[in-house]
Amino acid sequence: MKQDYFSSNNIKHIDYKDVELLKRFLTPSGKIMSKKRTNVTSKNQRKLALAVKRSRFMGLLPYIAK
């Protein structure tokens, strides 16, 4: 069983400015990967989704990658 990335790296708060971290959990087209693929807990998946959406709003991440 794979472990949660955030718990294993002791990341309590997922920051929307941490673009390199967030990019790990995006598909090549810019979609947020499903919980099945990210292997993170439900709680962290929700935090991740919020951070990605904030980052998209600020223009740090694309809504759709070409």
Partner 1 sequence: MVKVNKEEVIVEEKDVKTSIYEIGYLMVPSIAEENLGGEVTSFKDSLSSYGAVFISDEYPKLIELAYEMTRSVNNKKQKFSYGYFGWVKFECSTNGAQEIKEALDKNEKIIRYLLVKTVRENTMSVKRSYNRQDSKRKVTPRVEETEKVSEETIDKEIDALVV
Nearest approach, Cβ of 61 to partner 1 (angstroms)?
Answer: 6
SS3 64: coil
Note whether 25 and 33 are within 8 A (CB): yes
Instruction: Judge contact between 56 and 25, C-beta under 8 A.
Output: no
Which of 7, 8, 17, 27 touches partner 1 by CB under 8 A?
17
* 28 versus 59: smaller Cβ distance to partner 1: 59
Q: How many residues bind partner 1 (CB under 8 A)?
A: 18
Interface positions with partner 1 (CB under 8 A): 9, 11, 13-18, 21, 54, 56-63
